[in-house]
Amino acid sequence: MANEKNPMGPVITNSLIKRFRKSIVWLYIITIMISIPIIYLVTQYQVHAESNKELTLMLDMVTSIREYISKDVRPDLIEAKMFQSPAMSGTVTTSKVASYFIKRQPNYYIKVASDNPLNLKNMAEPFEKKLLDQYREDRKLDEIIQIGEINGNRFLVSSRPSVAKKECMVCHGDPKSAPMPITSKYGMTNGYNYQDDSVVGTINLGVPLADVNTLVIQRGLVAVGIITSIFSFIFLIISALVKRSILLPIANITEAAVVLSKGNLEQEINVKRDGSEIGELAHSFELLRRSLKWTIGQSKG
Ligand code: HEC
């Protein structure tokens, strides 16, 4: 506006405040672009860590059930010759507990799977058959943890092999000599003729993997919100500061210089001398004005 009134005045095409604002906007964009991939990695790590923790808990629970059966329950049953009791086998108990657990926690996956099961509900799914194959190929393998998709949902799955031993044969051996309650309930075709020391099943536990992408979008939006508020705040503060401590004093000095250039030596340059570069510049201008005034007064006189 000063320029319209005064064509000789300064022409500001690249204002300092605009440059400051541009840098803040760029800094904002760069911060957002750096944060999103970091949020992605951290979220992925957290999701896996949480699932791992839950998996360990469930594994410990299942292992404890089996330990309870073998130490506290089975010896008495064997003594009483109650071979048909489901509590004879940790595997059966696990499979029973699993069926109740899954009713309460349908998001989890727990199954004792076999490709030759007594109970057809325990028939191995394709991915469980692959696990069985892996255990049969490498007998030293005692645990596989992997991310798997079951019925369209992603799980962190841990599996352990179930190996037949002599004591299993009471029920899983020759169907003709199997206890009556077993054969009448499950029939005589499948779930029998286990070979000693062979892998007959896998115990699989799956905890649901939260959808990393949905979480990243949620957390990303929160982060973008926070970063935007912080930057808006910085933007306002810096704009106000630059205006107050740089632009206004410079405009004053510029105006004074224009007045001075027109030969008016009376108008004082009124900028506070606050120790800053601009304060000093203004003060030097004021000294210049005074000495000009003095010199001209001298030569007139
Ligand atoms: C007291 C009889 C009995 C004994 C002993 C026994 N099981 Fe079982 N087992 C069963 C019954 C009954 C089921 C079916 C449980 C169900 O309905 O889910 C079963 C189920 C299984 C399953 C799940 C697949 C299927 O057949 O339905 C596996 C694997 C298994 N047993 C392995 C073993 C192993 C290994 C041993 C020895 C360490 C063993 N069992 C000992 C009775 C027994």
Q: What is the dihedral of CA 61, 66, 67, 69, to 10 degrees?
A: 130
CA 255 – CA 249 distance, rounded (Å): 10
* Token code pair at residue 256: 């004074």
Q: Which of 67, 89, 128, 195 to mutate to test the pocket of ligand 1 (most atoms within 8 A of CB)?
A: 89
Which residues approach ligand 1 with their CB closer than 6 A? 83-84, 86, 88-89, 91-92, 95, 112, 114, 117-119, 122, 162, 164-165, 167-168, 170-172, 182, 191, 200-201
Among 48, 51, 47, 44, smallest CA distance to 206 is for 51
Distance 139 CA to ligand 1 centre (A): 20
CA 89 – CA 92 distance, rounded (Å): 5
For the chain, 301 residues long, give each residue's pLDDT as a single digit of tens.
444 445 555 667 677 888 888 999 999 999 999 998 998 899 889 888 988 898 889 888 988 998 998 899 888 888 887 777 778 788 888 888 888 998 998 889 989 999 999 999 999 988 899 999 999 999 999 899 988 888 788 888 999 999 998 888 988 999 999 888 889 989 999 999 999 999 999 999 988 888 888 888 888 899 889 999 999 999 999 889 888 888 888 888 888 888 888 888 888 887 777 788 888 888 888 898 899 889 988 887 6
CA distances from 230 to 29, 79, 131, 281 (A): 13, 73, 51, 34
Per-residue pLDDT at 134 = 95
Among 264, 284, 265, smallest CA distance to 276 is for 284
Distance 89 CA to ligand 1 centre (A): 6
Residue type, 106: P
Q: Which of 95, 96, 190 to mutate to test the pocket of ligand 1 (most atoms within 8 A of CB)?
A: 95
Residues belonging to the chain: 301
CA distances from 37 to 34, 108, 179 (A): 6, 29, 60
Q: Which residue's alpha carbon is nearest to atom 8 within ligand 1?
A: 92
Residue type, 21: R
Quick check: 135 and 161 in contact, CB under 8 A?
yes
CA 165 – CA 139 distance, rounded (Å): 15
Quick check: 73 and 87 in contact, CB under 8 A?
yes
